[in-house]
Copies of this chain bind each other. A is one copy, B any other.
Amino acid sequence: MAEKASGYRGVRRRPFLLLGTGCALFGLVLGIIIGYFAIPKRATPWSAALTREGDPSIAARLQREVTPDNIRENLRELTARPHIAGKEMDLGVAQLLRDRWLEYGFDSARLVPYDVLLAYPSRDPNRLSRVSLLESDGTVVVESQQQEAGADDPEAEPPFNAYSGSGEVQGDLVYVNFARAEDFQTLVRDLGVDVTGKVCIARYGKIFRGDKVNQAGQFGCAGLILYSDPEQCVAPGMAVWPDGWMMPSTGVQRGTVKGTNGDVLTPFYPANEYAYRLPEQDAGLPTIPVHPISYGVAVEILRNMAGPEAPLDWQGGLDITYHLGPGYTGPANSRTVRLVVNQDREVRTTYNVIGTIRGAVEPDRYVIVGNHHDAWVYGGVDPSSGTAVLLELARAMGKLKREGWRPRRTVVFGSWGAEEEGLIGSGEFVEDYIRSLQERTVAYLNCDAAAGGNFSLSVAASPLLHRMIREASKKVPDPHEPSKKLYDTWRMKRPEEEGNPDTRPKINKLGAGSDHAPFFQHAGIASSDMLSDIDPALGVTSYPLYHSAYETFDLQDRFIDPGWTVHQAVGRLWGEMAVTLADALVLPLDVRDYAAALQQMMDELRQEHGSRLSAQNIGLEHLESAIANFTRATTNFHQTVGSVDKSNPLTVRAVNDRLMKLEGAFIDPLGLPDRPWFRHVAFAPSSVNTYAGQSFPGLADALFDIDNAADQAARWEVVKKQLAVTTFTVQSAANTLVNNLF
């Protein structure tokens, strides 16, 4: 270049030089600017993915994939044969799920077996369980049947209450209404009816049947007959099965009466090959015989009873006047009732099915969706309507995955065995993997029956999930009015505040009615449960054919969800929730809602027990102060979440981990007094109704009916201790959100 330039030596050299240098400089500066700013540096391979927000189009695509027809076909297949836990078809359904998930493209799907104590009614013709009304000479006036009319599938087990005591009792009958604690108190204390050694009869409803058996045992009943009263299972003027979806006189509700969760022989530990098993007599199972009957049989047994008329609100829906007993009156006065129960308890294998779609960025974080697969008979509602939806959700997610999507976090599908016997499959699973689940699980999203009715969505959840669930429901079309969103119909039909047009939908506290209980109340994992439910205005307890042999595909196809859009909506919502949790960069868990929930619980506690507590010089100021600290911590932490540097993956992870672990901070490893398996200090199933959620359960249990307690001084000590434990736990949970603890 120097040679060439020599030709320009002299006058022209300077401008050339100037121009060249200028242009070169200009180019250089421009180049540097372009090179630095305009060309993205070949990113460190992970950087973009680690801090990328979830793709909002995924959930929308998932929603489009979930179709009514597929769900319908799934349910038809799932309900083809009875599939009670521990028997052939229970394994059959589990295998079907595993195979489908693999076919859909899951990264893994496998059966996880546990060997657990199950109970079945004896099929020996000489040992059949039954309830009989007898003349004094032994002639049978009426007797319960081994099958429900029109449902004579030999594969179906006769109606029974699993884990009842076995034996035969015969004697005078006493009517005990719902067999709640308050019913027995009224009966024994106020009405002076002796139930000791009597055959008692109670209607289903209001509380979990296992709690009825527990009360009956405590009050000394010799046996307990459970029946479905029309008041609880036939809405006035509505047709019974097969012409409608109300309970006919031949239908019987089955159900477990075991009071604990998980396998009874291996509490706290998984029921595997080397488990230490309690002797059966130490397992706390009911000892009195219990058996369920239809109202067609019950009406004959309740007719002509002696003793005072039952109180007005004890009168049920049968066309008789209910008397308390004991025994019969008039020409029937020598009649007795005989209750025979023979159940075989065996350790048998139940199978969970666990499938995964592994996370791309945080494979060690799990979002778990779960449903059980065992059914008392066909499971047309419980649980197979949920299973049908789970399968369709799995297919849809598998399709998205094959189209290139992979969630940020791992999505785990769980299909549990032996839920009906007492949350056994999920209970054992949680006990088995509790250390890893507590470390890795963002949330557990349960759906048991997807559609028990077509009235409205019904949800129970940890406060942490409330906002996320409400937001998800705003994205799902209503199954009946697709122009509206699920959120809109939900909040109108199940308002948080009655009469407020701007109300949010009500979200209930979690009880222990389904598989969320081990995750939430034992392991401290934020959980939710949901279904489409019936109109409470009908006045019936859950869907009327619950746990009968009439719970079939037809029930759904003809009455509950003929268009299958209710199932579709549940599936869409479930998918929205799962994808939101799996894909969000910052987890959409809202700690402020937890503070609000605690404050409300505090108000309720003060209202219900404040004066009783002050009379004992027990102040609530420390609990109040802990809740105030918790509220402050959540407010600050929520700001932290809102302002987190989303480009720093470690900070985001740290924030997410605290969100994820907050629920677990409410777990007290020592558990609740007298029921140590329940360890969540803020929420537990009610001790008097397992289905219902109870806030501050350690306190609530200790305070329950304390004014009438025999051991009041000891009970007040428990109250004081539980108040301290509750206060400490709330404060500890607050601390987990604080950066600089010391």
**Residue positions of A touching B, CB distance < 8 A:** 8, 12, 15-16, 19-37, 39, 41, 44-47, 50, 107-108, 110, 112, 268-270, 272-276, 354-356, 358, 361-364, 412, 432-436, 439, 622, 645, 647-651, 653-654, 657, 661, 664-665, 669-670, 720-721, 723-725, 727-728, 732-733, 735-736, 738-742
Contact = CB atoms under 8 A, between A and B. Distances in A.
A104 B648 CA distance: 31
18 contacts: A19-B23, A21-B23, A23-B27, A27-B29, A28-B34, A29-B31, A31-B35, A32-B39, A45-B647, A50-B648, A50-B649, A50-B650, A268-B670, A274-B723, A275-B724, A354-B742, A356-B740, A362-B654
Copies of this chain, how many? 2
Contacts of A108: 740, 742
Nearest to A36: B35
A650 B47 CA distance: 10
Nearest to A44: B647
A721 B276 contact: yes
B742 A665 contact: no
Closest 5 CB pairs of A and B: A31-B31, A35-B35, A27-B27, A27-B28, A669-B669
Given A19-B20, A22-B23, A439-B736, 17 more contacts: A8-B15, A21-B23, A23-B24, A23-B27, A27-B30, A31-B31, A35-B39, A44-B648, A46-B647, A50-B649, A108-B742, A270-B728, A433-B741, A435-B735, A436-B735, A436-B736, A669-B669
Given A16-B19, A47-B47, A276 B725 contact: yes
A356 B650 contact: no
A354 B24 CA distance: 62
A288 to B, nearest CB: 28
Contacts of A665: 435
A711 B581 CA distance: 53
A644 to B, nearest CB: 12
A273 B31 CA distance: 68
Nearest to A668: B268
Contacts of A50: 648-650
Contacts of A728: 269-270, 272, 274-275
A661 B661 CA distance: 14
B27 A725 contact: no
A664 B664 CA distance: 15
A650 B362 contact: yes
Contacts of A650: 46, 50, 361-362, 649-650, 653
Given A23-B27, A661-B439, A622 B32 contact: no
Contacts of A39: 32, 35-36
Contacts of A269: 724-725, 728
Contacts of A21: 23
A233 to B, nearest CB: 39
Given A32-B32, A650-B653, A741-B436, A46 B670 contact: no
A537 to B, nearest CB: 43
A361 B648 CA distance: 10
A281 to B, nearest CB: 14
Contacts of A439: 657, 661, 736
Nearest to A40: B41
A622 B273 contact: yes
Nearest to A626: B274
Contacts of A110: 742
A170 B31 CA distance: 100
Contacts of A724: 269, 274-276
Nearest to A364: B654
A167 B412 CA distance: 64
A267 to B, nearest CB: 10
A79 B329 CA distance: 91
A32 B35 CA distance: 4
Contacts of A436: 732, 735-736, 738, 741
Contacts of A268: 670
Contact of A28 (B31, B47, B664, B736): B31
A542 B35 CA distance: 70
A610 B88 CA distance: 40
A720 B279 CA distance: 13
A90 B721 CA distance: 30
Given A276-B725, A650-B650, A733 B34 contact: no
A280 to B, nearest CB: 14
Contacts of A35: 31-37, 39
A412 to B, nearest CB: 6
A217 to B, nearest CB: 26
A433 B736 CA distance: 9
Contacts of A622: 273-274
Contacts of A435: 664-665, 732-733, 735-736
Nearest to A21: B23
Given A24-B26, A35-B33, A742 B363 contact: no
A364 B653 CA distance: 11
Nearest to A112: B742
Among A24, A432, A736, residue most surrounded by chain B Cβ atoms (within 10 Å):
A24
A39 to B, nearest CB: 6
Contacts of A358: 740
A372 to B, nearest CB: 17
Nearest to A664: B435
Contact of A32 (B31, B356, B363, B721): B31
A436 to B, nearest CB: 5
A30 B44 CA distance: 23
Contacts of A735: 433, 435-436
Among A15, A354, A412, A724, residue most surrounded by chain B Cβ atoms (within 10 Å):
A724
Contacts of A16: 15-16, 19
Contacts of A29: 27, 31
Nearest to A109: B742
A705 to B, nearest CB: 22
Contacts of A33: 31, 35
Contacts of A20: 19-20, 22-23
Contacts of A669: 669-670
Given A20-B23, A27-B25, A39-B36, A46 B736 contact: no
A724 to B, nearest CB: 4
A739 B358 CA distance: 10
Contacts of A26: 24, 27
